[in-house]
Amino acid sequence: MENNNTISTLLVANAYGPADVLTFQDFDLGELRNGYARIKTKTAGINPIDARRMTGEFKHSGLPQTFGTEFSGEILAIGENSQGFKIGDAVLGSGDGFTHASVIDVPIGNLIRKPENISWEVAGSVAGVSQTAMTILDEIGDIKSLLIHGASGGVGSITVQLAKERGITVIGTASKRKLEYMESLGAIAVEYGDGLIERIKAAHPEAIDAAVDMIGTEEATQASLATVKPDGVIATIAGKPVSSKRVIPIWVKRNPKNLQFVVDGLASGKFQWEIDSVFPFDKAKDAFSKILEGHTKGKLLLQF
Ligand SMILES: NC(=O)c1ccc[n+]([C@@H]2O[C@H](COP(=O)([O-])OP(=O)(O)OC[C@H]3O[C@@H](n4cnc5c(N)ncnc54)[C@H](OP(=O)(O)O)[C@@H]3O)[C@@H](O)[C@H]2O)c1
């Protein structure tokens, strides 16, 4: 085993609050564990959960906090019992803890080969939202129509395409400026805001089989209750309080096979991937401020 590059620069927060709490810290990764690869990070997606943990809305761990769940990068070193990959391989996947860091250690089982025709930017932002989208569709089960609230964001953009691929009619809510984008992904696009229920009914007059809320607004809950069949699933991934007991929460389940499925679809051109913006690592504060605003189209990421 070659074990160079043990020093990683990490994004950390020593307090809860807006992006001003973010700072950088050098960290010695030490000896590489068996079954792990050491990766020079190329890009890492940012998800709303990173920023919501930063503010203290979610307190999954104590302080100091580290961030990031996904990455793309190149293998620098391989631990023992790490068959299948070699130094220099281009990979992507879910991290083992933080990925907003210049060098990370990742279990071999989390690694997916980066296809050559996928950019580092796309590769580094695929894991979280793809596995979330696959979890949503698998847990909702066999349906013919699906209402997605907040379909233009990171999770929504791939959920629309995966649902279409399963033959599901998708009604996706978005702001006016993103309606065309929604249609390009294959959704029946409906603008959110006053009159949403009437617009959904006009776009899809039959009752809808299921709905998933990616925003967490009362408007989304009421629209789902008014347009989904009485026995249809109404789910939320937003992690916000809901006013109806009918709304069930769904939480992402990591599954490398699901991730591989999406990566294959991107490599073959079956799925498209929208990058909203790429921030250099030293501008992470700006990136976290932007994702907190909640207007992302597709994915936001850090470049190292
Ligand atoms: N449960 C889980 O396991 C899980 C996993 C992943 C993500 N999540 C959560 O799911 C949510 C969505 O994540 P994401 O990565 O897709 O977010 P995102 O990339 O920030 O996208 C949010 C999208 O929603 C649109 N939007 C804003 N207000 C809206 C409204 N009232 N109605 C409809 N659309 C609206 C935004 O565009 P405009 O502002 O232009 O409309 C934006 O395109 C987050 O809260 C995240 O924390 C949960």
Q: What is the dihedral of CA 38, 43, 48, 52, to 10 degrees?
A: 50
Angle value at C-alpha 2, between 97 and 77, nearest 5 degrees: 35
SS3 state of residue 50: helix
Q: What is the pLDDT of residues 56-72, one digit of tens each?
A: 999 888 899 999 999 99
Tokens at 48, concatenated: 């709303």
CA-CA distance, 93 to 44, in Å (whole number)? 10
| pTM for the structure as a whole | 0.97
CA-CA distance, 139 to 162, in Å (whole number)? 14
Query: If you measure from the C-alpha of residue 47 to the centroid of ligand 1, how many angstroms do you get, rounded to a whole number?
Result: 9
CA-CA distance, 235 to 90, in Å (whole number)? 36
Nearest atom, ligand 1, residue 132 CA? 5
β-sheet bridge partners, residue 249: 236
Confidence check: pLDDT of 20 > 50: yes
Average pLDDT for residues 135-150, to the nearest whole number? 98
Confidence check: pLDDT of 138 > 80: yes
Nearest atom, ligand 1, residue 150 CA? 34
Q: Considering only CA atoms, which residue is closest to atom 9 of ligand 1?
A: 238
Domains in the chain and their CATH numbers?
7-126+273-303 (3.90.180.10), 133-249 (3.40.50.720)
Q: Considering only CA atoms, which residue is closest to atom 24 of ligand 1?
A: 150
Confidence check: pLDDT of 1 > 80: no
User: Distances in Å between the alpha carbon of 230 and those of 12, 188, 224, 237, 250?
Assistant: 46, 22, 10, 20, 19
**pLDDT score of 63:** 94
